Amino acid sequence: MKTLIKIFLFGIVALIILVAIGIFFVLNTGKEVDTVWGEEDLKTGLEKSKIDIENIEEINLESLAKGNFSTQETNDIDDHFTSKEISALISAANNKKGPIKDVKVSFNDDGKGEVSFRLSENFVDFLREQITITNNLPWEVEAAEDEEKTEQDPEKPSLTTLVIDYITSKADNKPVYATGELSRGSDNSVNINIESLTLGRIPLPQDAIDKVEYETVKVVNSIISPENGFHIEALEIRDDSLYYKGTLPAEIQGQKL
């Protein structure tokens, strides 16, 4: 009887280990765009943009989203940026200090694109900050009540803290893959249509995709303003490249790292 119990317990432990490995595999592996870029792609991408940047890492996505940058003058641009060049520019800006890393972009023949990247530790910090300052959280009322209880019992973590810790603990270094369309909306806006979005090997539901799409468009369009030197005459995906006609800032100064 004892032997049977031991065998049963061993089976349970083995099953738990297999499930844990499966969850790790599902969350930490995912589809990746096959674009491979080099230093030459970064060089040609910068040359085509005509933007004078002292340190490209200072204009990572977090700095841009928070408005921690300034621009000077403008240059006229009429050129095609390849998948490798766009991948190189975004990666070089974000690999060390940005919220994402290992960015790979591919522009397809059907006029659509795909992108893959990994969430960095800086994304976790940024996400924690945004969750903390966001209003109308789903748990707002309950969290307020819980905070009051926490004041009476400092050793008990608040509901808000628990939720933030849970979300951010799952984000670091997770692979993301997305497909969609990018097009010109107006002289100073773009349209982004995310068709699919996957975290690891888990496809996100449409309501989550809609929220990500809304926030992404809002951030991007807040950056490409006339005051920042942007004016879009044409924006199209053509033959593994992004065609851009309009103006870009002649110089960008980011937040000193």
Q: Is the pLDDT of residue 189 over 80?
A: yes
Quote the Cα angle for 100-247-219, to 5°. 35
**Contact of 191 with 213, CB cutoff 8 Å:** no
- Mean per-residue pLDDT for 182-207? 88
Q: Would you list the domain boundaries of the chain?
A: 33-120+173-257, 121-172
- For residue 147, pLDDT beyond 50: no
Could you tell me the CA-to-CA distances from 70 to 9, 58, 229, 231 in Å, in that order?
62, 11, 10, 16
* pTM listed for this prediction: 0.73
Residue 110, pLDDT score: 83
Residue 165: band (very low, low, confident or very high) from pLDDT cuts 50, 70, 90: low
Q: pLDDT tens, 60-108? A: 988 898 889 999 999 999 999 999 999 999 999 998 888 888 899 999 8
**Strand-pair partners of 114:** 106, 179
Q: Supply the pLDDT for residue 4.
A: 47
**Cα separation of 100 and 40, whole Å?**
22
Tokens of 2: 């004892």
**Mean pLDDT value across residues 212-233:** 92
How much of the chain, in percent, has pLDDT values that exceed 90?
A: 42
Mean per-residue pLDDT, 249-257: 83
For residue 23, pLDDT beyond 60: no
Neighbours of 20 (CB within 10 A): 10
Alpha helices in 29-99 (DSSP H): 39-49, 61-65, 83-94
Average pLDDT, the chain: 77
| Total residue count of the chain as it appears in this document | 257
